[in-house]
Amino acid sequence: MPVRKYNYYDFTLSLCPTCLKRVDAKIVFEDEKVYMLKRCKDHGNSKVLIADDVEYYKNIRNYNKPSETPYKFNTKVHYGCPYDCGLCTDHEQHSCLTIVEVTDRCNLTCPTCYAGSSPSYGRHRTLDEIKQMLDTIVANEKEPDVVQISGGEPTIHPQFFEILDYAKTLPIRHLMLNTNGIRIAKEKEFAKRLKEYSPDFEIYLQFDSFDDAVLQQLRGASLSEIRKKAIENLNELNLSTTLVVTLQKGLNDSEIGNIIEYALRQRSVRGVTFQPTQIAGRIENFDPETDRMTLTEVRRKILEQTSIFKKDDLIPVPCNPDALVMGYALKIDGEVFPLTRYVNPADLLNNSKNTIVYEQDSTLHGKMIDLFSTGNSVECAEENLKSIMCCLPKIEAPNLGYDNLFRIIIMQFIDAYNFDVRAIKKSCAHIVDKDYKIIPFETMNLFYRDDKKEVVKAIQNEL
């Protein structure tokens, strides 16, 4: 009997990367890798690598938990996913993180920018518009977990501090500022003023490479000195910071280990988020055939390039397990203690709050780590070690603060190549758009930006 060269695992709906129409897709295992096979009647067949680790890919399904929904949805189901975003009532996860783009403008013109920003593109949102965007998030979520002020480059908005002042009046648990760090590096007084928004305020700092040649390719500028100066100012203030690394295969993926080790030595840095480039928006110097990077490839490189994290320390995040990997550690007296290996997946999944308890032993030489789970939700009212994302474990550690925490996150945003309708419904990083809808980050960049709206309208008209 003839036998296929692959093992057929699953079936889903994806998109044609050329016309963005829905197409059937098979998920298959071949040569220890996971591929998506799809066919568009107008643009032919395509085969996309979606993971290079079959065991991890299969394990993702074990991390699914009952979906948490927003208190309010904004659109109805009509055309079918992903053409109804808003959030529509068919979405399967609330907004764990919501992004507010306060401006289209930026003080850089990065060759890689999902929002297509530049010094002259679009406009700043008015303060009234921004207030309404923030109010929309609160209406949906009541007490939003994480809200990120973003752009473009939000720090160049003329009413930047008024935006932060207003956001701080709302019941937002954790406010983040997504920035390229130029103002933080160049203006010490500006950085000092940011510190006034702590606790529960964090800088999400673009930090892709130590190498100016790489930064020229990704950002169109030699920013390594700017990055160092920004970190110096943030360290002085001990202002909580996450380093955000946009990854491109063969460009900066060999720096993953060095970036983690550097981050661990910085007083202000609470973790690193790795984001493989999403094929959307302005994307120069990038070949989708060779430069795409999957989530499991990033995880593998973290394991290869650091000795701190082992396989069990980097696990799927249950609210959106296809797209997110997490790893927790404690930084104490220059030592690093990975914690995620102690998390019981069963407790993560049944919505009881998995709590990691850390105590120093009496000799102060050894460290003792214990674990228990409790049915009680732990409030995140203060900046301490407790989790800042809704379904990550809570950490109880008397005498330790948020600055003892170190968190690795891999966040892979689905694009038209690896699009899987099963997974997109669990997307939990969302954007509030100009029409006050809440749209998954991934579909926003594919369909709902100004320059894409005509494409989605044409598809909707055909359905």
Number of residues that bind ligand SF4 (CB under 6 A): 13
Contacts of 8 (CB under 8 A, 6+ apart): 26, 28
CB of 79 to ligand SF4, least distance (A): 8
Cβ–Cβ under 8 Å, residues 430 and 438: yes
Nearer to ligand SF4, 19 or 369 (CB): 19
| Nearest residue to ligand SF4, scored by beta-carbon proximity | 81
CB of 139 to ligand SF4, least distance (A): 16
Alpha-carbon gap, residue 426 to 96, rounded angstroms: 11
Which uninterrupted H or E stretch holds 238?
none
Q: Which of residues 394-433 bind ligand SF4 (CB under 6 A)?
A: 424-425
Q: Answer left, alpha or beta for residue 238, where phi above 0 means left and psi between -120 and 50 means alpha.
A: left
Nearer to ligand SF4, 234 or 431 (CB): 431
From 40, 50, 81, 324, residue interacting with ligand SF4 (rule: CB under 6 A): 81
The letter for the amino acid at 438 is I
Cβ–Cβ under 8 Å, residues 240 and 198: yes
Alpha-carbon gap, residue 86 to 73, rounded angstroms: 7
Alpha-carbon gap, residue 408 to 158, rounded angstroms: 33
Nearer to ligand SF4, 85 or 389 (CB): 85
Asked if 85 interacts with ligand SF4 (CB under 6 A), we say yes
82-90, 230-238, 309-317, 366-374 -> range binding ligand SF4 (CB under 6 A): 82-90
CB of 103 to ligand SF4, least distance (A): 25
| Residue 23 neighbours by CB distance under 10 Å | 20
Give helix 295-305 / helix 256-264 axis angle, nearest 10°.
60
Alpha-carbon gap, residue 188 to 43, rounded angstroms: 53
Q: Which of residues 435-454 bind ligand SF4 (CB under 6 A)?
A: 440, 443
Nearer to ligand SF4, 81 or 218 (CB): 81
CB of 13 to ligand SF4, least distance (A): 10
Nearer to ligand SF4, 327 or 440 (CB): 440
Alpha-carbon gap, residue 115 to 445, rounded angstroms: 7
80-88, 101-109, 241-249, 451-459 -> range binding ligand SF4 (CB under 6 A): 80-88
51-59, 84-92, 206-214, 264-272 -> range binding ligand SF4 (CB under 6 A): 84-92
CB of 186 to ligand SF4, least distance (A): 39
Asked if 65 interacts with ligand SF4 (CB under 6 A), we say no
Calculate the CA 279 to chain-centre distance.
15
Q: Which two tokens stand for residue 37?
A: 């096979």
CB of 27 to ligand SF4, least distance (A): 19
Asked if 84 interacts with ligand SF4 (CB under 6 A), we say yes
32-40, 45-53, 77-85, 349-357 -> range binding ligand SF4 (CB under 6 A): 77-85
Alpha-carbon gap, residue 168 to 144, rounded angstroms: 12
Cβ–Cβ under 8 Å, residues 295 and 410: yes
Which uninterrupted H or E stretch holds 50?
strand 44-51
Nearer to ligand SF4, 82 or 327 (CB): 82
Asked if 88 interacts with ligand SF4 (CB under 6 A), we say yes
Alpha-carbon gap, residue 359 to 110, rounded angstroms: 45
83-91, 206-214, 281-289, 395-403 -> range binding ligand SF4 (CB under 6 A): 83-91
35-43, 78-86, 164-172, 311-319 -> range binding ligand SF4 (CB under 6 A): 78-86
From 35, 51, 57, 91, residue interacting with ligand SF4 (rule: CB under 6 A): 91
Q: Answer left, alpha or beta for residue 373, where phi above 0 means left and psi between -120 and 50 means alpha.
A: beta
Of the candidates 460, 440, 401, the one whose C-alpha atom is nearest the C-alpha of residue 320 is 440
Question: Can you give the binding site for ligand SF4, defined by CB under 6 A?
Answer: 81-82, 84-88, 90-91, 424-425, 440, 443
